């Protein structure tokens, strides 16, 4: 059985054009009736959705999942984007 991928893992995959690509797992989507889907961001900031069986692990994340989220995503998660000013939280 393959090791489950975590956020921050460096993985390799094949693009839709057949080119070999590498990227970092930035999001995981788990559903009951299909394999886990991962959102991968490449070094050139392109993103791709891939099933778990289409990925190959290159390097495991050095930290846990909570700390592995890139810094540019933390700022957007910290603010309540959809609440009105003065709304009860």
- For the stretch 31-55, pLDDT in tens is 888 889 999 999 889 999 999 999 9
What's the mean per-residue pLDDT of the chain? 77
Q: SS3 sequence, 28-75?
A: EECCCCCCCEEEEEECCCCEEEEEHHHCEEEECCCCCCCCCCCHHHHH
What size, in residues, is the chain?
89
User: Domain limits of the chain?
Assistant: 10-78
Bigger pLDDT: 82 vs 27: 27
Q: Is the pLDDT of residue 21 over 60?
A: yes
Out of 1.10.1740, 2.30.30, 3.90.75, 1.20.1740, select the CATH number for domain 10-78.
2.30.30
DSSP state of 52: G
Q: Are strands 56-59 and 47-51 parallel, antiparallel or unpaired?
A: unpaired
Q: Is the pLDDT of residue 77 over 70?
A: no
């Amino acid at each position: 059985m393959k090791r489950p991928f975590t956020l921050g893992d460096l993985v390799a995959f094949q693009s839709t054009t057949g080119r070999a690509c590498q990227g970092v797992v930035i999001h995981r989507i788990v559903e009951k009736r299909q394999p886990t889907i991962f959102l991968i961001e490449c070094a050139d900031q392109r993103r791709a959705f891939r099933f778990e069986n289409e990925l190959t692990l290159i390097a495991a994340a050095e930290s846990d999942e909570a700390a592995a989220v890139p810094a540019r995503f933390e700022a957007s998660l910290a603010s309540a984007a959809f609440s009105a000013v003065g709304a009860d939280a």
